[in-house]
Structure 1
Amino acid sequence: MKRLTRDEMAQRVARDIPEGAYVNLGIGVPTLVANHIGDREIILHSENGVIGMGPAPAPGEEDGDLINAGKQFVTLLPGGAFFHHADSFAMMRGGHLDYCVLGGFQVSVRGDLANWHTGAPGAIPAVGGAMDLATGAKKVFVMMEHLTKQGESKIVSQCTYPLTGMRCVSRIYTDLAMMEVAADGLHVLEIYADIGFEELQELSGVPLIDSTDQGGAQR
């Protein structure tokens, strides 16, 4: 089945972040979004106390003192700044971020998010600042593979993993489709895989609403 790569997913997410937005990119796959901002003025924030980050550094140009919350090397654009961890969380909790892009283990049809712990024996919880971001950012985008390695849908009727936030997700970007969470259900806006709407719904295992441009046509 044709599907988006993680880098292509990041490129698609970046297209929906408007000029002038203040954005936090979660640990893992969401950090790839930074490489697709281009010359637009989008201000990237990291919860360890950095704002004004640029794309990942070129090999050999890493600065050991400049990392994001996931301990990945980053660059700093002109005007970027460092500050205390507490100030960073005050930005997150105070509603000063326009968007955050988070990974996910599960997202429910009503926009609940589980992304910090699977509950499996021996699994290491990794909540970080996800709960603060899920409730503090004005819009929450989730970027993840549509299916688990076992072929199970990460889009669920109700999350079975410990919740990060309730009714907090605005949009879901997967390697198969892009969906928007609305009061009347989960709207499919774009399909990227070489499948139709009916097959996407079957793979997802939950009711979906076809809101593609031509009633199921792929983009």
Structure 2
Amino acid sequence: MLDKNGIARRIAKELEDGYFVNLGIGIPTLVANYIPKGIEVEFQSENGVLGMGPFPYEGEEDADIINAGKQTITTMPGASFFDSAISFNMIRGQHVDLTILGAMEVAENGDIANWKIPGKMVKGMGGAMDLVASAENIIVAMMHTNRAGASKLLKRCSLPLTGVNCVKKVVTNMAVLEIIEDGFRLLERAPGVSVEDIKNATEGKLIIEGNVPEMVLD
């Protein structure tokens, strides 16, 4: 199985030269550390940054330069800072080519729940609903199961929805799955993970077509 960095490394292979990419909180922020050689992308954060770089090394953090999750970040040459109104104009105007989000649940029809667990206090949903309402290409980075071992890839989400029928692909610690009309189509399996393991960990409809290759991370 993959760890969080492994998930980020695999998602980084989805980046294309010239992409503008929004990174959500959690695992998605790690993607900036694994940009493939030979391509240039611009990472955007809804708190008003365009041109984010990888995380800073210990001792090199600047507390004034943070992402939407309040983590310290680095910036690339030519990076710019602006207010949230401009940032959300970029998002709502569909100027972001790829959005990478974390999630608590994803349904087989592409619904996503990633902002609230009933009974637990949250400060707000942040920019998640704007992102899922505007983005045409959404990849979710998440663990395949929760801490109790229950699937997070479901027939229907049980938590309050962030967006409906919007997720295109899911990369977990076990697999890469594409969401199509019929359910989760299994594209790749993580190293050391069998198709049977993925079946057992997936509540939603899993579609398996032929031989499923193992992920290539390098």
With the shorter chain as reference, the TM-score category is over 0.9
Alignment correspondent of 2:158: 160
Tell me the CA shift for residue 78 of structure 1: 1.1
Alignment correspondent of 2:171: 173
CA distance in 2, matches of 1:111, 1:189: 16
TM-superposition CA deviations, 1:35-65 (whole Å, max 9, x none) = 1115521100000100011111111111121
Out of 183, 186, 200, the residue aligned to residue 184 of structure 2 is 186
Is the partner of 1:187 in helix, strand or coil? strand
Contact 2:12 2:36 in 1 (8 A): no
1:218 aligns with 2:217: no
Contact 1:116 1:125 in 2 (8 A): no
Out of 29, 34, 49, the residue aligned to residue 36 of structure 1 is 34
| Structure 2 stretches lacking a partner, 5+ long | none
C-alpha RMSD over aligned residues: 1.4
Is the partner of 2:16 in helix, strand or coil? coil
Alignment correspondent of 2:75: 76
Superposition misfits of 4+ residues, deviation over 4 angstroms = none
CA distance in 1, matches of 2:48, 2:121: 27
CA distance in 1, matches of 2:65, 2:212: 45
1:103 aligns with 2:102: yes
Contact 1:117 1:125 in 2 (8 A): no
Answer with 70-79 or 198-207: which moved more: 198-207
TM-superposition CA deviations, 1:50-99 (whole Å, max 9, x none) = 00111111111111211111111111111110111111011111111011
CA distance in 1, matches of 2:111, 2:78: 35
Q: Give 1:19's aligned amino acid.
A: D
Q: TM-score with structure 2 length normalisation? A: 0.93
Tell me the CA shift for residue 195 of structure 1: 3.5
Alignment correspondent of 2:47: 48
Contact 2:106 2:113 in 1 (8 A): yes
Answer with 45-54 or 55-64: which moved more: 55-64
Tell me the CA shift for residue 156 of structure 1: 0.4
| Structure 1 stretches lacking a partner, 5+ long | none
Out of 197, 200, 204, the residue aligned to residue 199 of structure 1 is 197
Q: Give 1:53's aligned amino acid.
A: M
Is the partner of 1:62 in helix, strand or coil? coil
Alignment correspondent of 1:114: 113
Contact 1:141 1:172 in 2 (8 A): yes
Out of 116, 121, 124, the residue aligned to residue 122 of structure 2 is 124
CA distance in 1, matches of 2:28, 2:213: 27
Q: TM-score with structure 1 length normalisation? A: 0.93
Q: Percent identity?
A: 43
CA distance in 1, matches of 2:103, 2:124: 12
